[in-house]
Amino acid sequence: MLYLVPTPIGNLADITLRALTVLRGADLILCEDTRTSQVLLKHYEISKPLYAYHQHNEHKVLQQLVERLQAGTTMALITDAGTPGISDPAFLLVRECIRAGITVDCLPGATAFVPALVNSGLPTNRFAFEGFLPPKKGRHTLLTKLSTEDRTLIFYESPMRLVKTLEEMGKYFGEDRPCSVSREITKKFEETIRGSLLTVATHFKAKAVKGEIVIVVGGASGKD
């Protein structure tokens, strides 16, 4: 059996009792970075064999993991933070498990975009999660397409590209489009800045930006 186990996105207390039970009962824990995962596991006194599973090796180890699952191994898949499969590895393994008739169970838990959306003050009844924008190829095409999207838009972004991305969105969506940027969610220096794309870009241009970032942008005018 394969369990998908969400892990805290910052505050280690943001993990469910069920998640801890599953991690303690697993034969093997798959994780992106064993060093990062050891911090969480050590905090909760969980000692289990770890196996690296990330975007650079997921194709290579896929069949081996499926065979071990078929042989009766119970695995828990975690990522560095948040819910596996949300801008993190999981899809390929889940798909292969389903094809092979292996039971997959995804636990509910932490993911960054939900609190960022709810805290944004923008409409939450209809939204589109876009994850990370393409760094180069396809970026123009996607931003052009999304400029007329009437649902609230959600993106992940790195600190280094935040200002550039906000300024690009201003060009494609209009600088007055409402947005909200949340960073370091659940951590000590958590911050949410709301306003137009122009004012929020100006705010972050004047300071050093750190941490995980979620951008929430209002839908096309008059259609939300």
> How far, in Å, CA of 201 to CA of 195, rounded?
9
Q: Are residues 63 and 93 in the same domain?
A: yes
Question: What's the pLDDT score for residue 222?
Answer: 53
pLDDT band at 92 (very low <50, low <70, confident <90, very high): very high
Q: Are residues 63 and 145 in the same domain?
A: no
Q: Which residues pair with 154 in a beta bridge?
A: 129, 216
Query: What percent of the chain stands above pLDDT 70?
Result: 99
Is pLDDT above 90 for 62? yes
Q: Are residues 74 and 119 in the same domain?
A: no
Average pLDDT over residues 56-70: 96
Average pLDDT over residues 96-125: 97
> How far, in Å, CA of 58 to CA of 110, rounded?
23
Is pLDDT above 60 for 223? no
How many domains is the chain partitioned into structurally?
2
134-164 pLDDT, tens digit each = 988 899 999 999 999 999 999 999 999 999 9
Q: What values do phi and psi take at 25, rounded to 5?
A: -95, -10
Question: What's the pLDDT score for residue 136?
Answer: 87
In CATH, what number is assigned to the domain containing residue 119?
A: 3.30.950.10
Average pLDDT, the chain: 95
In CATH, what number is assigned to the domain containing residue 101?
A: 3.40.1010.10
Q: Residue 222: inside a domain, yes or no?
A: no
Question: What's the pLDDT score for residue 224?
Answer: 42
Q: Are residues 66 and 141 in the same domain?
A: no
Is pLDDT above 60 for 6? yes
Q: Residue 224: inside a domain, yes or no?
A: no
> How far, in Å, CA of 100 to CA of 77, rounded?
17
> How far, in Å, CA of 174 to CA of 178, rounded?
9
Q: Are residues 140 and 188 in the same domain?
A: yes
Average pLDDT over residues 1-7: 97
Token pair recorded at residue 55: 């975007």
Token pair recorded at residue 211: 């941490």
Is pLDDT above 70 for 11? yes
Domain span including residue 99:
2-106
Q: Are residues 22 and 92 in the same domain?
A: yes
